[in-house]
Amino acid sequence: MRRTLLLLFGFFLLCSSPTAFGQTASDALSELTRPHDYTLKRVSSYDRTGGNNDYRPLAAGETLTLLDEAGPGEISHVWITIASDERFHLKKMVLRMYWDGESSPSVEAPVGDFFGLGLGEYILYQSAPLAVGGEKALNSFFPMPFQKHALITLTNEGRQRADAVYWNIDLRSYKAPLPADTLYFHAEYRQAVPNKAFPDAKFNLDGKENYVWMEAQGRGHFAGVTMSVIENQDGWWGEGDDMFFVDGEKLPSINGTGSEDYFLGAWDFGGKPFAYALFGAPIVGAELQGARWSVYRFHLDSPITFTKSLRATIEHGHANDRGDNYYSVAYWYQTEPHEQFPVLPGVETRIPRVLPGSNPQE
């Protein structure tokens, strides 16, 4: 898994740095001369009769099993595309992943949010671990190891039947067990619809009312987050600082300077969308009620490590003085067992909508 992460980071870094291009391209290409100790497998929706019906329908209320595979192995790529006429089906279909027979999923998120589409609509963008290609092609390159078993499901919590779900999942099958210290992939959806605003607050040291991306118990490292925002009032939503509380800290050892700064933009993103390997803002709105934004940041250069616990948060406005809607998925690796996730919000509450009057100052 370590080699996979390094190669993944190096390969995509070529796009953003001419200097790094020569170094990382050479390193990645040199790996092609070395033998690998895995067998590549693909689990897909192909037509078992030999015909061209390479998909499965997904009725409302039903669940598809995309992968049910014995280990040891490591998923290297997940590709999904969905044909559905239901609006916001990306928010209504839920992706879950289970490792080694666990009863509580290590990945649970609306399928669109998992792939960075937190506003429930398709856009094209490219990052290192996640990308959306034309047309409606959802791609993940996060390495996902498992010792004994991997299960991936997709559940339709909408009201309409999806006519077709296609998928290709590439995985490396190993004969020998993975190293005992191998960490497992996790991804968790959260939302605040809306965040509770504290308009009179001036200072925030302990992050008590921050928006929480994730909380974990165990040993591991934080790999990144995708987040979408709907503004419920005019003005700039992004004065909030990121705060990371490592191993039970009362005060954050990592404290940022503003939301656009954490997502590696500046000055309200300058009104321009962008998407790079490790950071981006594919959707940039105006500073007005109803504006929509999507941002992401991946810490593949230096994941945020923890040995006992991690609480990853961000303010919603300065000192949490705004009540906008946040929708996010956090991605991290850790030992098992993991702490059970909060109950997934109901499908109707996940649908993006403006909530005028949710800010006390209005």
Burial class from Cβ neighbours inside 10 Å (0-12, 13-18, 19+) for residue 283 reads: buried
Question: How far apart (Å, rounded) are the C-alpha atoms in residues 158 and 21?
Answer: 44
Answer yes or no: are the C-beta atoms of 165 and 45 closer than 8 Å.
yes
pTM above 0.95, yes or no: no
DSSP secondary structure, 75-103, as one string:
EEEEEEEEE--STTHHHHEEEEEEETT-S
Token pair belonging to 48: 């078992």
Token pair belonging to 341: 């996730």
| Rounded (5°) CA angle 97-164-295 | 55
Residue 122 pLDDT: 98
Residue 54 pLDDT: 98
Token pair belonging to 318: 């300065």
Amino acid at 239: E
pLDDT (tens digit per residue) in 239-274: 999 999 999 999 999 999 999 999 999 999 999 999
Question: How far apart (Å, rounded) are the C-alpha atoms in residues 130 and 120?
Answer: 16
Residue 23 pLDDT: 40
Closest-CA residue to 99 (of 16, 186, 177): 186
Q: Where are the beta strands (DSSP E) in 231-339?
A: 242-246, 254-255, 274-275, 279-283, 292-298, 304-306, 309-314, 325-334
Q: Is residue 337 reached through a cis peptide bond, with omega within 30 degrees of 0 on the bond before it? A: yes
Residue 359 pLDDT: 66
Question: How far apart (Å, rounded) are the C-alpha atoms in residues 204 and 49?
Answer: 61
Residue 30 pLDDT: 84
Domain 184-350 annotated CATH 2.60.120.1390: yes
Closest-CA residue to 94 (of 176, 35, 144, 165): 165
Question: How far apart (Å, rounded) are the C-alpha atoms in residues 49 and 17?
Answer: 47
Answer yes or no: are the C-beta atoms of 318 and 198 closer than 8 Å.
no
Answer yes or no: are the C-beta atoms of 171 and 43 closer than 8 Å.
yes
Answer yes or no: are the C-beta atoms of 208 and 244 closer than 8 Å.
no
Amino acid at 7: L
Fold agreement (34-173, 184-350): yes
Q: What are the residue boundaries of the structural domains of the chain, listed by start?
A: 1-33, 34-173, 184-350
Residue 233 pLDDT: 96
Question: How far apart (Å, rounded) are the C-alpha atoms in residues 114 and 344?
Answer: 13
Superfamily of structural domain 34-173: Protein of unknown function DUF2961 (2.60.120.1390)
| Helix, strand, or coil (residue 43) | strand
DSSP secondary structure, 159-187, as one string:
SS-EEEEEEEEEEEE-SSPPPTTPPEEEE
Answer yes or no: are the C-beta atoms of 66 and 168 closer than 8 Å.
no
Residue 31 pLDDT: 82
Low-confidence ranges of the chain (pLDDT < 50): 2-23, 362
Residue 136 pLDDT: 97
